[in-house]
Amino acid sequence: MIAGTAAATGAAGFGIATSGTQGTNGETLASARSTYATDYNNLRTQIDQLATDASFNGINLLNGDSLTVKFNESGSSKLDITGVTYNAAGLGIAETTFSDIEADVALLDTATSTLRKQSSTFGANLSVVQNRQDFTKNLIGVLEGGAGDLTLADTNEEAANLLAVIDAMTSPEAYEVLQAAHGRSDRQISRSWIRSVTAIFDSWPGLYPDTDTDTDTDTETDTGLDKETQA
C-alpha cells in the first residue's frame, strides 16, 4: 500500500491563504493579487517607455510616425512604410487589479498576435530596402569600375594603338588607295596625311600636358606648316 499526502493546489500551493487569514507565507490572497497587479502594471509602463524610445533619426514607427524610402532621385520609385502606435493602450493592454485574470490573459494573447503580424510587415519592408540597397551598391561598383577603365588607361598600350593608326594611314597601301580613288597628287596626299595625323594628336585624350602656350606662336607654327606643305 502506497501512502502519501496530496499536494496543495492553487493559492494554497504557494502558501497563500484563500480567505482573509494569512497563509503559510504570511500573505493573503488579496494582498498577493495586489502585489502581482502592481508588478503587471509596472511592466505595462515599460511597454509605453519602450515604444516612446524606439526612435531613429527623428522617426518612430512604433509611435505613429511614417517613413518614405526613395530609391531614385525623382522619387518615382519608393516604399511607403506606415507606422503604428504600439504603446500599452495601442495594444489594448489596460491596467488591472486581477479581478478577472482570464480577461487579462485574453488581452495579452491579442496583443501578442498583433505584435507578430506587425513584425512580419516590418520584416517584409526591411527585406525590400535591403534588396534595393544591395542593388544600388552593385550598380555603384559597376559605374566606378567603368569610370576607372576610362580614366586609368595604360599609356603604353594607348601609345601603341596611336602609332598603329598613324602607320596604317601613312602606309604605301593607303597612299595607293588615295591616289587611285581620288586621283590626288603627291602634294595633296601629303597635306591630307598631315591634317589627319594632327587631328588625331589633338583629339587623343591626355596626350598633351596642360601648359600655357602663346596663341600667336601656335598660329605662326601652323602657318609655317601649311607653307612648307604647299611648297
| pLDDT tens, residue by residue, 154-210 | 777 777 777 777 777 666 766 666 566 555 566 666 676 677 667 766 665 555 555
Kindly provide the residue ranges of all beta strands, DSSP E only, lying in the chain, ordered along the sequence: 16-17, 27-28, 67-70, 78-81
pLDDT confidence of residue 67: 93
pLDDT confidence of residue 216: 47
pLDDT confidence of residue 76: 87
Query: Cα–Cα–Cα angle for 5, 9, 12, nearest 5°?
Result: 95
> Which residues lie closer than 8 Å to 34 by C-beta, 6 or more apart?
97
Indicate the pTM of the whole model: 0.53
Domain boundaries, the chain: 11-150, 154-230
| CA quadruple 173, 178, 179, 183: dihedral, nearest 10 | 160
Return d(Cα 14, Cα 17) in angstroms, integer: 9
pLDDT confidence of residue 140: 86
Instruction: Give residue 201's region: left, alpha or beta (phi > 0; psi -120 to 50).
Output: alpha
Q: How confident is residue 224, by pLDDT bands cut at 50, 70 and 90?
A: very low
pLDDT confidence of residue 116: 95
- For the stretch 92-146, pLDDT in tens is 999 998 888 899 999 999 999 999 999 999 999 999 999 988 988 888 888 888 7
Cell numbers linked to 7: 499536494
Cell numbers linked to 55: 526612435
- For the stretch 36-76, pLDDT in tens is 999 999 999 999 999 999 999 899 999 999 999 998 888 88
